[in-house]
Amino acid sequence: MTGWREQLGWWLAHRLGRGPEQELERQHDALGELRVTQVGDLRYLYFGEETEQSCGLIGDPGWLGYDYTRAMLLAGFWQPQLERALALGLGGGSLVCAVLQHLQPAQMRAVELRPAVVELARRWFALPEVPELQVVVASAEQYMASLTEPVDLLMLDLYLEDGIAGAQLHMDFLQQCHAALRPGGLMVVNQWQQGSSGKPYAVHRLRELFGERYLQVEVVEGNIILFIPQSGELTLDRQAMNVWADGLESQLGYSLRPYIEGLRRAG
């Protein structure tokens, strides 16, 4: 099975050994430049000139190239029978496609601020138009303020060209997202880490809201993924999680075991 060292080696080789990029499309909207490039079988979505936002594999829209998105799939262990899933932030759509393919929610909704991002995700990253998926163009704050149907799984991944979106650090918004969960539901947050401290941005606000009952895992890109239950504590049974992950490995093309090994209580 793949370990942290092998995962890190792959990631470094991918980044350092990458050839020249071919630009496929460039757009400009009210928030700045959007670029799509390709290297071999991989396509990239950039916000601006340098901010690599998404990575997709041609022919397999649900393949995940980043460790932080792979780690977010661990949500499936605690949510084996998903009715409603909600993703705030779309990007190229790889995470949404992976959730559809491997966690198989009955309904999934993705909320994206920029119409041009949705267009690019459909044109270059094979974001599907299927009955199970609805894409809504709106700000996450506006959407959550009008949400009436609770969800089983909420994935929070809001980033702009200059970094994490402000809403993802605001206590009221985080509380609003958490309140949208059904009993037994789960919120997964892709947060920045404070250096190499193992602590997420807004850690004091997170603890004020959720105590120390959530789980977290740091990944090599520097992000830290938070798994926050609607109530109570998530079970941390690595043996059972590894069995579950092994059952998915042949479908995914990579192992989730490294992220299971890195999971720990927030405290």
Give the model's pLDDT for residue 160: 85
Q: What's the confidence (pLDDT) of residue 11?
A: 46
Residue 141 has pLDDT above 80, yes or no: yes
- The pTM score is 0.90
Residue whose token pair is 């909420």: 154
Higher pLDDT, 208 or 156: 156
User: Which H or E run includes 183?
Assistant: strand 181-192
The pair of three-digit structure tokens given for residue 113, joined into one six-digit string: 């601020």
Place of tokens 């974001």: 127
pLDDT for res 267: 72
Contacts of the segment 156-159: beta carbons below 8 A, 24+ positions apart: 156/88, 156/89, 156/187, 156/188, 156/189, 156/190, 157/72, 157/87, 157/88, 157/89, 157/91, 157/95, 157/189, 157/190, 158/88, 158/89, 159/47, 159/53, 159/89, 159/190
Residue-wise pLDDT for 147-191, tens only, equals 999 999 999 999 988 888 888 888 899 999 999 999 999 999 999
Provide the mean pLDDT of the chain. 90
C-beta pairs of 178-182 under 8 Å, 24+ apart in sequence: 178/209, 178/210, 178/228, 178/230, 180/86, 180/144, 180/147, 180/150, 180/151, 180/154, 181/150, 181/151, 181/152, 181/154, 181/230, 182/84, 182/150, 182/151, 182/152, 182/230
Q: Residue 116 and residue 107: Cα distance in Å, rounded?
A: 23
Least confident of 17-26, 40-49, 60-69, 153-162: 17-26
- pLDDT at residue 17 greater than cutoff 60: no
Q: Does the structure show a pLDDT above 50 at 1?
A: no
Residue 18 pLDDT class (50, 70, 90 cuts): low
End-to-end CA distance of the chain: 28
Average pLDDT score over residue span 107-116: 97
39 vs 8, which has greater pLDDT? 39
Least confident segment among 35-44, 137-146, 149-158, 215-224: 215-224
Q: Domains in the chain and their CATH numbers? A: 62-265 (3.40.50.150)
